[in-house]
A and B are shown apart, each in its own frame.
Chain A
Amino acid sequence: MPVLLVSSEGLIVHANSRLETLFEYQPGELTGEVLEILIPKSLSKAHCELRDTFFESPTSRDMGIGRDVYGVTKSGEHLPVEIGLELIEQDGQQMVMASVLDIRERLYAASRLRRAIDAAASGMVEVDQDGVILLVNQEAREMFGYGPGELIGKPVELLVPETSRRNHPVDRQKYQARAEQRAMGRDVWALRKDGSEFPVEIGLTPITGPRGNSTLATIIDTTERKAVERQLRKNAQELEMANRELTDFAYSASHDLKAPLSSIAGLLTFCSRDLESGDLGEVHTNVERARALADRLSGRIENMLALAKSSTVPRVWQELDVEGSVREIWRLLSSGESSEVSFVTSFDHVGVLRTVPVLFQAILENLLSNAIKFKDKSRRSRVKVTTRSTSGEFYLSVGDNGIGIPSDCHHKVFQLFQRFSPDIEGSGLGLALVLKNVVTLGGEISFESTPEGSLFTVVLPQLGEVLQEEGGIG
């Protein structure tokens, strides 16, 4: 080991040959020289003072702990070194023996390790037992948005979102007590320098070292994965819904389509029997019945197709003329009505409605057609359409003074194939279609109904899809 003996005045008393070789001096060349020729120029003045302080209260110790210490060779090269200081007395004189360790190899190895750590795809943060950050790799720095060296020595709670910061030191201590390799809990969020938060997955590894225990956290930013997962979940839900609809359709095919057909077949059987027996009156009645059934069947098929199609309608979001749509649909629906219906509108919304016109019009058509269909024959029918808008939401209400929905049926109003009035023909699909379209448009629907009438209210985003983020896997 290269060793140097220095007097209290700062003169080199002796340098061993290994030290001379390390600092490129000839044998004996250093003896009598001032110590500062081995020290970088920028530090030599400060060093003189430090040396004096050392001799005032001398203790044996390592030099420059926590700092990089350099020596200067004869040719001016800076050598990274570690220096141990030991006080000795010779001939009544105090002297210092400095052992100098060349740490170039060690630093080289450390820098290779550092490069490897920085090249790692996950963020790494090492924290001591008091929660002080010891090491941060490049990935972690970038992830959290800090510059080089900015985090070293800071409390790790700097990286923890406000909401979990209070419990973090306690959790940290609990972890250290058990010190096992494991993942940090579920749904963990991290805090960037700019205050934004992001979801992470963190693995913890306890490290036992000569200078105490520490913990290495391996951090993965899961923002993207979360987005993919969300998209997958959404896809799965859509698939599940489509599947359920298919099942319902199969059910309806057996229930609602086969039934009228088999009734028609039955009626025709009796028709031919009645023809033989000459009961023409009965034949006539049954032919009429068969025809009504055929009409009903074709109506049902049409409704089912509408429902099926609403899933495949291209989602074209456009500005829609609400007043025009309401008037046009009302004109078509009311034209076939025998008795007059009073129609009142009050368009109080502000600004445009951006929506998928096909879906919106189907909602309107079904609500208006119900309002007309379920009228109370004992009074003059009134239908009222109102609109309004508040904080980005568009409200459409369709009210009537019809017979209402029996209160014991309110819970199944939007289910498939639900009919509440024995006397009025229907497929039981209209409100199911309305609900589906409302949900597709990102809205909600509610209703009130009494024997005095019904009021359906649809709430839609006024500027549909504009503000909606697209999935996120982009």
Chain B
Amino acid sequence: MTIPLVIVDDDEIDRYLTRRTVDDADGDFKFIEYSTGHDFLEVFRNAERRHEEIGGAPPPTLVLLDINMPRMSGFEVLEELAKDSVGFEQMVVVMFSSSSHAQDKENALAYDFVKTYIVKPLTREKLQGLVDQFYS
């Protein structure tokens, strides 16, 4: 089973570090990266492009969503996703941030389609934990 893993993060280095971790991990992932929430939403909302770039479910897409991004923050992306209110079964949204701030975590988990909140960086252990929890 190949799991599509999308990272939405403006920081090129964070995307690089995540990709390296995913490459090293056990398991089969398809790694897709977007540098803005806008780019991600555009693809996600367009069935054709979505199928082409990310692939069809199952398995659901694992979305690692950064919070602190210029222009459209991770929270604003969540707000947009909430407006759509469809397609949640096709993705596992995970907030992915360097902030260990309780308020950020609380705000993120207030959306019922946000499955969990992990603090950067992504490690092999954290990735394995996500797979065990949502893909077994």
Contact = CB atoms under 8 A, between A and B. Distances in A.
Interface in A250-299: 251, 254-256, 258-259, 262-263, 265-267, 270, 289, 293
B101 A419 contact: no
Max chain A CB contacts within 10 Å: which of B14, B98, B121? B98
Contacts of A420: 70-71
A289 B14 CA distance: 11
A422 B97 CA distance: 17
A263 to B, nearest CB: 5
At the interface, is chain A mostly helix, strand, loop or mixed?
helix
B108 to A, nearest CB: 14
B82 to A, nearest CB: 17
Given A254-B98, A255-B101, A259-B120, A422 B71 contact: yes
B49 interface: no
A406 interface: yes
Given A422-B36, A422-B70, A258 B17 contact: no
A392 to B, nearest CB: 39
A345 interface: no
Contacts of B10: 422
Given A259-B98, A262-B98, A266-B121, A406 B17 contact: no
Contacts of A289: 13, 16
A55 to B, nearest CB: 97
A417 interface: yes
A465 to B, nearest CB: 37
A265 B121 CA distance: 10
Given A251-B101, A259-B98, A417 B71 contact: no
B28 to A, nearest CB: 21
Interface string B1-13: 0000000001101
A421 interface: yes
B126 interface: no
A255 B35 contact: no
A65 interface: no
Nearest to B69: A422
Contacts of B70: 418-422, 428
Given A270-B20, A422-B35, A422-B71, A263 B14 contact: yes
Given A262-B120, A406-B71, A419-B70, A255 B17 contact: no
**Which size class do A's interface residues fall under?**
20 to 34
Nearest to A262: B121
Interface in A368-421: 406, 408-409, 417-421
A418 B68 CA distance: 9
Interface in A218-266: 251, 254-256, 258-259, 262-263, 265-266
Contacts, number: 54
A256 B100 CA distance: 11
B128 interface: no
A310 B16 CA distance: 37
Contacts of A266: 17, 121
B35 A417 contact: no
Interface string A448-460: 0000000000000
Contacts of B14: 259, 263
Interface string A425-457: 000100000000000000000000000000000
B17 A254 contact: no
Contact of A267 (B17, B36, B71): B17
Contacts of B90: none
Contacts of A256: 68
A263 B10 CA distance: 14
Interface in B34-75: 35-36, 68-71
Nearest to A290: B13
A208 to B, nearest CB: 62
Contact of B100 (A254, A270, A293): A254
B121 to A, nearest CB: 5
A99 to B, nearest CB: 88
Contacts of A263: 11, 13-14, 17, 120-121
Nearest to A409: B71
A84 B16 CA distance: 112
Interface in B99-131: 99-101, 120-121
Given A259-B98, A262-B98, A266-B17, 20 more contacts: A251-B101, A254-B100, A255-B97, A255-B99, A256-B68, A258-B98, A259-B11, A259-B14, A259-B120, A262-B121, A270-B17, A408-B71, A419-B70, A420-B70, A420-B71, A421-B71, A422-B10, A422-B35, A422-B36, A422-B69
Interface of B: 10-11, 13-14, 16-17, 20, 35-36, 68-71, 97-101, 120-121
8 contacts: A254-B99, A255-B68, A262-B98, A270-B20, A406-B71, A420-B70, A422-B36, A422-B70
Interface of A: 251, 254-256, 258-259, 262-263, 265-267, 270, 289, 293, 406, 408-409, 417-422, 428
- Across the A-B interface, the 6 shortest Cβ-Cβ residue pairs: A259-B98, A419-B70, A266-B17, A255-B99, A266-B121, A422-B10
